[in-house]
Amino acid sequence: MLSEKITDMKKQCEHQGDCMQLIQRILDKEATPEEEAMFLNKKEQCLPCKDGFELEQSLKKAIKEKCISKCPDELFKSIKAKLFILLAIISILIPLFCDQNK
Amino acid sequence: MSDISFFFVWINICKIISTLYLKRKVLMETPVEELSIEEKNIAPEKAKAIFEKEFMPHLDAMYNFALRLTNDEDDAQDLVQDTCLKAYRFAGSFEPGTYAKAWLFRILRNNFINDYRKKSRGPSKVEFEWVEQAYVGEEDAEPAFQADLKAETVNDMMGDEITKAIQALPVDFRMIIILCDLEDFSYEEMAKILNIPIGTVRSRLHRARAILKDTLADYARKRGYVADTLSEDGTIF
């Protein structure tokens, strides 16, 4: 059934460059609903577009899943400590200057 | 002069010197585009509250972006710290309700370009320009090649192959892929973060993905991911 469907599909896409750009805009949520609907309909009849869509989708998913790094705890603590010191210095020095100006 | 008076004089001298130094540093080192972020004075407690509520939740994303840019954990930590301190300094000009993450990423990117890229272990500007020229077509942004890569091959790949392929990209291409695919910024937000027109965002992203797919196809061939399909004509990879 699936192979029959594939044999019915176009093997060449005459607008492959434009279609690839449209696929990326669809996956980036930058395409209009009309563009998206038109492409999703076309995808079922064009093998290069279907393959291209699946490839871009997989690539985006792989990047999202595999390129994540968590901020080290030491960095988190260090930033908080530096801000605390900065805040303490400001809180001590500003009243000091204000008192002196009076 | 009493000890107390001497102490106040000394403090005042230090204050004047540090003010002059900071102003000089801001003017000399802050990029022109960043000077558009106005430094407004607010109470330190208010700045701290903005920082903790609006900025801290994005620390993981900032570190991840910094790590992808620098390809080095220590450099990434320094870059995030500098960005946080700068964000704290400019907290008065942050408008609550606007997208804090995009605001922070813009500061981080500017910091990276100005301070870290100079000493970066990554590709140089010359290399990037070469790649830009190599991939810029006449009018259409579509590169000359179409990578021989299938969705199943990408699905089968281990994480380190994807991260290595991203690390191998020139930094401007790497930056745009991370902003779009990992952080889900819109084209308009990316244009603001990178300070480039939306058209350039679109074409640069397209080229970046084309190079990425080409690199992954190359990995796949070398590692035998596509051996079954390519062995029909007897070619061994």
C-alpha distance from A85 to closest chain B C-alpha (Å) = 12
CB A57 within 8 A of CB B151: yes
Task: Using pLDDT thresholds of 50, 70 and 90, give the confidence band for residue B104.
Answer: very high
Q: How far separated are the first and last CA of chain B, in Å rounded?
A: 85
- Residue B64's pLDDT is 94
User: What whole-number percentage of chain B has pLDDT above 70?
Assistant: 63
A17 and B CB contact within 8 Å: yes
- Residue B112's pLDDT is 92
Give residues 155 to 194 of B whose Cβ lies within 8 Å of A.
155, 157, 159, 162-163, 166, 177-178, 180-182, 186-187
Greater pLDDT, B42 or A4: B42
CB A64 within 8 A of CB A55: no
d(CA B169, CA B163): 10
> What global pTM score does this model have?
0.74
A93 and B CB contact within 8 Å: yes
ipTM for the assembly: 0.80
State mean pLDDT over B46-68.
88
CB B173 within 8 A of CB B135: no
Mean pLDDT of chain B: 74
Q: How far is CA A7 from the centre of its chain?
A: 34
Contacting residues of B for A78, CB less than 8 Å apart: 77, 81
Closest residue by Cα to residue B102 from B200, B202, B190, B197: B190
A102 and B CB contact within 8 Å: no
Is the Cβ pair B154, A71 closer than 8 Å? no
Contacting residues of B for A21, CB less than 8 Å apart: 141-142, 202, 206
Secondary structure in 3-state letters for B143-190: CCCCCCCCHHHHHHCCHHHHHHHHHCCCHHHHHHHHHHHHCCCCHHHH
Q: How far is CA B44 from the centre of its chain?
A: 28
C-alpha distance from A84 to closest chain B C-alpha (Å) = 9
Interface test with B, best of A6, A18, A22, A28 (most B CBs within 10 A): A28
pLDDT digits (tens, 9 = 90+) for B179-224: 999 999 999 999 999 999 999 999 999 999 999 999 888 888 887 7
- Residue B96's pLDDT is 74
pLDDT surpasses 80 at B120: no
Q: Compute the count of residue pairs across chains A and B with CB atoms less than 8 Å apart.
A: 122
A81 and B CB contact within 8 Å: no
Is the Cβ pair B162, A51 closer than 8 Å? no
Count other C-beta atoms under 10 Å from residue A79's C-beta.
22
A66 and B CB contact within 8 Å: yes
The token pair that represents A19 in the structure block = 């279609």
The alpha-carbon radius of gyration of chain B (Å, integer) is 23
**Angle at which helices B187-194 and B198-223 pack, to 10 degrees?**
100
- Residue A32's pLDDT is 95
Closest residue by Cα to residue B162 from B174, B172, B144: B174
Contacting residues of B for A25, CB less than 8 Å apart: 202
State mean pLDDT over B68-78.
91
Give residues 79 to 108 of B whose Cβ lies within 8 Å of A.
80-81, 84-85, 88
pLDDT surpasses 70 at B34: no
- Residue B7's pLDDT is 62
Name the closest residue on chain A to residue B178, using Cα atoms. Answer: A63
A47 and B CB contact within 8 Å: no
State mean pLDDT over B25-45.
55
Nearest CB partner across the interface for A97, out of B15, B84, B180: B15
Query: pLDDT tens, position by position, for chain A (102 residues)?
Result: 555 555 677 788 888 888 889 999 999 999 999 999 999 888 888 888 999 999 999 999 999 988 888 889 899 888 888 888 877 777 777 666 665 554
d(CA B53, CA B48): 9
Is the Cβ pair A58, B206 closer than 8 Å? no
- Residue B10's pLDDT is 65
